[in-house]
């Protein structure tokens, strides 16, 4: 029960992940306090009502761009989960300076504040779009990942450790195609960019539990990648809207046919465990025994959604949706 007695802060805490993270931590663990750090006062108010003003819950209005505010928020904090990001791909392409300020410079601020304030562990959320990125959002998250891994070289005599969790599309999160498909179903027409498209999927609950597990396992510098199932986008559309017309609209700028979580280059320094992979840092301070029990990956290995050995059929997709999104009717 690693989080028991700990002071935990989550940036971007009013988002989809943050809400589920707070719910699970408060229900399954006994933290001394959980701090929600975010910019939106309305969402913080709504979240306070949702959790019935739990005395362990604190709310801190702030922006990761504001280093001084982070210094104040991190006082007495043991663990930071960094989930704040600007992640809408079209918005990122149109507002690149803003995305860099939040996703890259914000990451630097988190690192410096965590070290100086004596935070024990920081784990940052990444995305499959950070592997071989083709859009600005993915590029900023790759840069963020690199900053957090390299941050371990800057701690000096301090005990702060930094690691990263990278996973695929989250079922039902804001920006996910799944709510869009459910909304489009009402019109009788579903839009798909390309029928060949595949994606990794994880539920919010699975994502939160994996992050908590990695917090306990991390030494420093790892990128943790869970083993996830793939789906074909056409199968997903047919499960959600089996009687709807499908319109092919063409792949959008910055969009991939298939997602990658471990590139061929990264696989040379990665290790496989039963239900996850670890990409190890290439720094002198990293010790191979930190991956004790892990198996080196074969030469040429790529962990991509189209080469995956784990696929969900239509019945399994329906089960996943019913479990993760009971508010929607199939």
- Residue 305's Cβ-count burial label (10 Å; 0-12, 13-18, 19+) is buried
Give the pLDDT of residue 325. Answer: 86
145 contacts: CB under 8 Å, gap ≥ 6: 124, 126, 130, 164, 166, 223
CB 192 within 8 A of CB 249: yes
Q: How far is residue 26's CA from residue 54's CA, in Å, rounded to a whole number?
A: 9
pTM for the complete prediction?
A: 0.96
Average pLDDT over residues 105-109: 98
Average pLDDT over residues 235-252: 93
- Please indicate whether residue 30 is annotated as part of the active site: no
166 vs 2 pLDDT, higher one: 166
22 contacts: CB under 8 Å, gap ≥ 6: 10, 13, 34, 36, 47, 51, 57
The domain covering 7-168+202-226+261-302 belongs, at the CATH homologous superfamily level, to NAD(P)-binding Rossmann-like Domain (3.40.50.720)
For the chain, give the number of residues.
330
Lowest mean pLDDT among 11-15, 251-255, 296-300: 251-255
Angstrom distances, CA of residue 196 to CA of 96, 248, 263: 29, 11, 20
Instruction: Write down the number of H helices and E strands in the chain.
Output: 12, 17
**Tokens linked to 102:** 């939040």
pLDDT value at 33 more than 90? yes
Q: Which of 6, 121, 129, 141 is catalytic?
A: 129
Count the Cβ atoms, other than its own, within 10 Å of residue 48. 15
């Amino acid at each position: 029960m690693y989080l028991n007695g700990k002071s935990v802060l989550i940036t971007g805490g009013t988002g989809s992940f943050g809400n589920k993270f707070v719910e699970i931590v408060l229900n399954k663990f006994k933290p001394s306090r959980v701090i929600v750090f975010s910019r939106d006062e309305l969402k913080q108010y709504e979240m306070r009502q949702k959790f019935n003003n739990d005395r362990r819950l604190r709310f801190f209005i702030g922006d990761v761009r504001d280093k001084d505010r982070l210094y104040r928020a991190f006082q007495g904090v043991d663990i930071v989960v960094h989930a704040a990001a600007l992640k809408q791909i079209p918005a990122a392409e149109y507002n690149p300076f803003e995305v860099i300020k939040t996703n890259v410079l914000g990451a630097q601020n988190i690192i410096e504040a965590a070290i100086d304030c004596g935070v024990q562990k920081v784990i940052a959320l990444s995305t499959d779009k950070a592997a071989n990125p083709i859009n600005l959002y993915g590029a900023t998250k790759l840069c963020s990942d690199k900053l957090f891994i390299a941050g371990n070289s800057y701690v000096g005599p301090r005990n702060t450790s930094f690691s990263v969790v990278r996973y695929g599309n989250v079922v039902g999160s804001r920006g996910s195609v799944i709510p869009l498909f459910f909304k489009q179903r009402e019109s009788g027409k579903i839009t798909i960019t390309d029928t060949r498209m595949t994606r990794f999927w994880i539920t919010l609950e699975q994502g939160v539990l994996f992050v908590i597990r990695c917090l306990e396992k991390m030494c420093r510098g790892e990128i943790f990648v869970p083993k996830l199932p793939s789906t074909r986008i056409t199968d997903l559309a047919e499960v959600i809207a089996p009687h709807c017309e499908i319109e092919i609209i063409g792949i959008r700028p910055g969009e991939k046919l298939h997602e990658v979580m471990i590139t061929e280059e990264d696989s040379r320094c990665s290790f496989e465990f039963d239900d996850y992979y670890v990409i190890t840092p290439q720094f002198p301070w990293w010790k191979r025994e930190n991956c004790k029990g892990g198996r080196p990956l074969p030469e040429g290995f790529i962990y991509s959604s189209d080469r995956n050995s784990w696929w969900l059929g239509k019945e399994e997709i329906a089960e996943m949706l019913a479990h993760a999104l009971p508010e929607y009717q199939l």
